Amino acid sequence: MILHRPRTRPEPWKARKRSNRRAWLTPFMAFEWGLEWVAFALSNWTLLEVLEYLGSFSVLIAVIFYFAESGDRVKQRHYQAWQVINTAQGKGGSGGRIEALQELNADRVPLVGVDVSSAFLQGLNLKNANLLRSDFSSADLRNSNLAGVDFTMANLDTANLRGASLDRAKCLQADLRNADLTGSDLVAVDLSGASLDDADMRGANVQDIQWQRLKSINGANIAGVKNAPEGFVAWALQHGAVDQPGVEP
């Protein structure tokens, strides 16, 4: 808010000069007296007041346009993130894909069908992401946070998921063959229709996993699995799983 306080008219120079008891101060007093008159004159100039209001108004207009265009900026950011992901498709390394995927997921953009096969994505945080039909085959996802993700019909063949958190993830009909799940968190994961053939599950926490409708688990190493639900280990061994603690993947 702009407040204008009217200035008092400066006293005449003669009166000001009489108050000066030191002659050497006269030039300085004259200079100050002149500036007072300039300030007095400008304070009564309406044009300057109008210009001040116009300046404030322009700031307001800029703020309005900033928020009005926020949607376009978000779209542009998403477009750039997808460009990073798609350009690096099929290549190794990260290539900025960790940041791009996390940014899109933070904005609740579905990552359906995303292809990051063979990518280096250690420590990726995609909690609760929609990864339906995605391709993470041969990707390095060690120590990633994938809790609550939807991996329905996803390709995780040969993915490295050591130490990753997949709590409450949906892996319906997911391809987890040859996946390295050593020490991973699989609490309450839904594995209905999933293939775990030759997966390394040593030391994984399988508490409350939904395993009853697993498609296959032939050759999977379940040595040392933690908090296994009743009947899971026996069923797995009967269907081709192995218990070999010392076998390296």
Range of lowest pLDDT (3-7, 53-57, 142-146, 226-230): 3-7
The structure tokens listed for 61 are 């207009």
Question: Are residues 111 and 55 part of one domain?
Answer: no
Note whether residue 79 is domain-resident.
no
Question: Are residues 62 and 125 part of one domain?
Answer: no
Is 176 found in the same domain as 118?
yes
- Same domain? 36 vs 139: no
Higher pLDDT, 74 or 80: 80
Over 90: is that where the pLDDT of 197 sits? yes
What's the mean pLDDT in 167-181? 98
Query: Could you tell me if 117 and 165 lie in one domain?
Result: yes
**pLDDT confidence of residue 70:** 60
Pair (136, 29) in one structural domain: no
Q: Kindly state whether residue 77 falls inside one of the protein's structural domains.
A: no
Q: Flag whether pLDDT at 94 surpasses 70.
A: yes
Is the pLDDT at 59 greater than 90? The verdict is: no
pLDDT at 110 over 50: yes
Taking the CB of residue 135, how many other CB atoms lie within 10 A of it? 22
The predicted structure's pLDDT at residue 169: 98
Residue 111 lies in a domain: yes
Amino acid at site 163? G
pLDDT in tens, 2-37: 555 666 776 776 666 666 666 666 676 777 767 776
Amino acid at 212: Q
Q: What pTM, to 2 d.p., does this model score?
A: 0.71
Q: Are residues 52 and 164 in the same domain?
A: no
- The answer on 213 and 103 residing in a single domain is yes
* Structural domains of the chain, count: 2
Mean pLDDT of 135-154: 97
Identify the weakest region by mean pLDDT among 61-65, 116-120, 216-220: 61-65
Is 208 in contact with 229 (CB distance < 8 Å)? Answer: yes
Q: 3-state DSSP call for residue 129?
A: coil
In a domain, 200, yes or no: yes
Are 64 and 93 in a shared domain? no
- The answer to whether residue 1 scores a pLDDT higher than 60 is no
- 24: domain range? 13-68
Q: Is residue 6 part of a domain?
A: no
> CA-to-CA distance for 63 and 43, rounded, in angstroms?
29
